[in-house]
Amino acid sequence: MCGLTGFFDASGAMPADEMARVIEAMATTIHHRGPDDGGSWIDTSAGIALGSRRLAIVDLSQEGHQPMFSASGRYVIAFNGEIYNYGEIRRELDQTGVQWRGGSDTEVLLAAVERWGLEAALKRTVGMYALALWDRQERVLRLARDRMGEKPLYYGWFGSTLLFGSELKTLRPHPDFRPEIDRGAVALFMRHGYVPSPWSIYDGVRKLQPAAIATFRSNAGADSVSIQSYWSLSQAAQEGARDPFRGSDLEAKNALKDHLERAVRGQMVADVPVGAFLSGGVDSSALVSVMQSLSDRPVRTFTIGFDEARFDESEHARVVARHLGTDHTDLHVSPNDALNVIPHLPWIYDEPFADPSQIPTVVLSRLTRRHVTVSLSGDGGDELFRGYDRYLRAEQIRGVMDRFPSPVRRALCSGAMSISPAAWDRALGLLRQNGGRLSGHRVHAAAELLTQRSDAGLYRSMMSVWPDADSVVIDGVPRPTAFADPAVWTRVDHFHDRMMHLDQLDYLPEDLLVKVDRASMAASLESRAPFLDHRLVEFAWTIPLGMKMRNAKSKWLLRQLLYDYVPAQLIDRPKMGFAVPLAEWLRGPLRDWSEDLLSERRLTEEGFLDPARVRADWTEHLSGERDWKHKLWTVLMFQTWLDAERAQAPTPGVHREAAIVG
Contacts of 378 (CB under 8 A, 6+ apart): 277, 279, 281, 282, 283, 284, 285, 286, 287, 529, 531
DSSP calls for 64-125: G-SSEE-TTSSEEEEEEEEETTHHHHHHHHHTTTPPPSS--HHHHHHHHHHHH-HHHHHHH-
C-alpha to C-alpha distance for 418 and 274, rounded to whole angstroms:
54
Q: Is the Cα dihedral 603, 609, 612, 618 positive or negative? A: negative
Encoded amino acid at 614, one letter: V
C-alpha distances (whole Å) from 227 to each of 112, 144, 145 are 21, 9, 11
Q: Cβ-count burial of 251 within 10 angstroms (0-12 exposed, 13-18 middle, 19+ buried)?
A: exposed
Sheet holding 300-306, edge to edge: 327-333, 300-306, 274-277, 374-376, 526-528
C-alpha distances (whole Å) from 86 to each of 112, 172, 259, 267, 533 are 10, 34, 18, 11, 14
**Nearest 5°: CA angle at 266, between 260 and 267?**
90
Contacts of 505 (CB under 8 A, 6+ apart): 233, 234, 482, 483, 488
**Nearest 5°: CA angle at 616, between 611 and 622?**
125
C-alpha distances (whole Å) from 6 to each of 23, 149, 175 are 6, 20, 13
C-alpha to C-alpha distance for 602 and 639, rounded to whole angstroms:
10
C-alpha to C-alpha distance for 169 and 424, rounded to whole angstroms:
47
Give the count of beta carbons closer than 10 Å to the beta carbon of residue 134: 25
C-alpha to C-alpha distance for 108 and 567, rounded to whole angstroms:
42
DSSP calls for 625-661: SS--HHHHHHHHHHHHHHHHHHHTPPPP-HHHHHHHH
C-alpha to C-alpha distance for 476 and 14, rounded to whole angstroms:
36
**Nearest 5°: CA angle at 598, between 594 and 602?**
130
HSE of 229, CA atoms in CB hemisphere, 13 A: 11
Beta strand residue intervals within 560-641, DSSP E: none
Contacts of 20 (CB under 8 A, 6+ apart): 40, 42, 49
SS3 content of the chain, % helix, strand, coil (to 5): 50, 15, 35
Give the total residue count for the chain. 662
DSSP calls for 404-423: S-HHHHHHHHHHHHHS-HHH
> Which residues are known to be catalytic?
2
Give the count of beta carbons closer than 10 Å to the beta carbon of residue 407: 8
C-alpha to C-alpha distance for 92 and 89, rounded to whole angstroms:
5
Largest CA distance in the chain: 77
Q: Which residue in 3, 446, 4, 460 sits closest to 196, CA to CA?
A: 460
Encoded amino acid at 97, one letter: G
Return the SS3 of 256.
helix
